[in-house]
Chains A and B, each alone.
Chain A
Amino acid sequence: MTEWLISALLIVGGLFILIGSIGLVKMPDFFMRLHGPTKATTLGMALLLIAANVFFSVENGVINIKEILISIFLLITAPITGYMLIKSAIHHELKAKDGTKGMDNIEDD
């Protein structure tokens, strides 16, 4: 039973990480590429780490939630890296995809 749970968590987590990387390759401009890694990869990692928690809890017979620490850390830091990256992209005046709405909302810095 727990094996099924662990397998499901692992596969869904792996799929999310894969989707994040597909987004990184597929999207046409930098600002759209940023959406894949900041969101999908973070959730994928959280699912993988929960799977690891369940596995080691069953394996050792004691409740084990220390892997959740990494996922909390990633959850806190992912928006910060995203923010720094998009800030430097705006600073370097990277081209957005044609037809991006609201380009005049960006002010000079």
Chain B
Amino acid sequence: MLESVLLMVFAMIGVSLMLNLWRLIVGPSVPDRILALDTMYINTIALIILYGIGMQTQIYFEAALLIAMLGFVSTVAVCKYLLRGDIIE
């Protein structure tokens, strides 16, 4: 049963990634695109965790943690750039 449920959840997250991609392409403003990217990396973490459950291995946990950290830092850095035109003052 778990296999079919996993496939279903994979499909849900795939659809939400497509929706995010649509927002990323359409825009219309720069903060919209950053928001779409931010949501995309969170969805990617979900995909990695699901793949880990499917393969019954915990080896991808560190990768997911790293994506979470780098995604947060990059989002904040781009926002800071939009606000001030400079990242580190």
Contact = CB atoms under 8 A, between A and B. Distances in A.
Interface size of B as a range: 35 or more
Contacts of B30: 88, 92
A80 B45 CA distance: 18
Interface of B: 1-2, 5-6, 8-9, 12-13, 15-17, 19-20, 22-23, 29-32, 34-36, 38-39, 42-43, 45-46, 49-50, 52-53, 56, 58, 61, 64-65, 68-69, 72, 75-76, 79-80, 82-83
Interface of A: 3, 6-7, 10-11, 13-15, 17-18, 20-22, 24-25, 30, 33-34, 37, 41-42, 44-45, 48-49, 51-52, 55-56, 59, 64, 66-67, 69-70, 73-74, 77, 80-81, 84-85, 87-89, 91-92, 94
Given A13-B46, A74-B42, A85-B79, 7 more contacts: A3-B2, A15-B12, A18-B12, A25-B19, A84-B79, A85-B34, A85-B38
